[in-house]
């Protein structure tokens, strides 16, 4: 790396903070950790880490998410950069927030005690350190906006899921109830789901059919100039 061009410029610690979201018990969940170091030791925080000189910021975020979940190949998007002067009480740190949507069934629970983490419902989020609450709020806004027009919500589910589950996922994202018939109608007329033969009997006696998201059909939909919309 050639450093002769930009001289006498200040340099900064750069961190990534990750809003890792899952879905369980009909509610969105966020992974938070009890901080093990000062300042604010014992406070709840997002999963974070410093960016290394050898990696891009996207790679740093991916590394952090894998470290705390044990999952790779996770859907992630940048939320934004946070650069207030005193956002981190210990030192000047510029942080870039990312959100990750994970299938909680793939989560490695052994990492919970290792990193002192916990899944909490978004409706019951405790106070977070620094500006982490703002990062979460911005994430939820992005998620609400984006889940409506892109099929990103499926990243929160296993590859098989029932329509009632999918509906409750969207209800949790939008924080409002949705009419069952309208929801199913919209979804099924898009023709991007594949109905399975088996049913999920875990939450009712009758059982609900499993469906699978069909990426090929989705791509066709887009090619036809149509849009995903929920």
Partner DNA sequence: GCAAAAGTGTTTCAGGTACACCCATGA
Partner DNA sequence: TCATGGGTGTACCTGAAACACTTTTGC
209 near DNA, rule: CB under 7 A: yes
Closest CA to 96 of 112, 83, 115, 113: 83
Min dist. Cβ of residue 208 to DNA (A)? 4
Q: What burial class does residue 131 get, using C-beta atoms within 10 Å of its C-beta: 0-12 exposed, 13-18 middle, 19+ buried?
A: buried
Here's the x/- map for DNA, 140-179, by CB under 7 A: it reads as ----------------------xxx--------------x
39 near a copy of itself, rule: CB under 8 A: yes
13 near a copy of itself, rule: CB under 8 A: yes
224 near DNA, rule: CB under 7 A: no
Q: What is the DSSP letter of 149?
A: T
Min dist. Cβ of residue 37 to a copy of itself (A)? 7
Residue 156, classed as helix, strand or coil, is helix
176 near a copy of itself, rule: CB under 8 A: no
Q: Encoding tokens for residue 132?
A: 């982490």
Rank residues 23 and 82 by Cβ distance to a copy of itself and give the closer one.
82
Check: CB of residue 199 under 8 Å from CB of residue 220: no
Closest CA to 76 of 48, 47, 101: 101
Residues in the chain: 230
Rank residues 56 and 203 by Cβ distance to DNA and give the closer one.
203
* Ramachandran category for residue 8: left, alpha or beta (phi over 0 → left; psi -120 to 50 → alpha): left
Q: Which one of residues 34, 36, 92, 215 is an interface residue with a copy of itself (CB under 8 A)?
A: 92
Name which of DNA, a copy of itself, none residue 39 binds, using a CB cut-off of 5 to 8 Å depending on partner kind: a copy of itself
- What is the binding site for a copy of itself (CB under 8 A)? 1-6, 9-14, 37-39, 50-58, 60, 78, 80-81, 83-85, 90-94, 96
């Amino acid at each position: 790396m050639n450093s002769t061009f930009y001289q006498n410029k200040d340099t900064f610690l750069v961190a990534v903070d990750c809003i890792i979201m899952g879905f369980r018990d009909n509610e969105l969940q966020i992974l938070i950790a009890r901080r093990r170091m000062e300042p604010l030791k014992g406070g709840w925080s997002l999963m974070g880490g410093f960016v290394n000189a050898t990696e891009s910021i996207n790679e740093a975020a991916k590394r952090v998410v894998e470290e705390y979940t044990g999952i790779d190949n996770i859907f992630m998007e940048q939320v934004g950069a946070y650069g207030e002067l005193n956002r981190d009480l210990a030192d000047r740190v510029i942080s870039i927030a990312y959100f990750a949507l994970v299938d909680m069934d793939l989560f490695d629970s052994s990492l919970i005690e290792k990193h002192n983490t916990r899944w909490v419902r978004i409706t019951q989020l405790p106070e977070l350190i620094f500006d982490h609450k703002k990062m979460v709020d911005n994430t939820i806004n992005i998620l609400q906006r984006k889940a409506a027009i892109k099929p990103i919500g499926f990243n929160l589910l296993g590859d098989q899921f029932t329509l009632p589950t999918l509906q409750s996922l969207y209800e949790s994202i939008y924080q409002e109830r949705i009419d069952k018939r309208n929801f199913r109608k919209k979804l099924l007329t898009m023709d991007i789901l594949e109905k399975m033969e088996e049913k999920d009997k875990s939450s009712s006696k009758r059982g609900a059919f499993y469906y699978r998201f069909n990426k090929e059909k989705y791509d066709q939909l887009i090619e036809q100039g149509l849009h995903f919309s929920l």
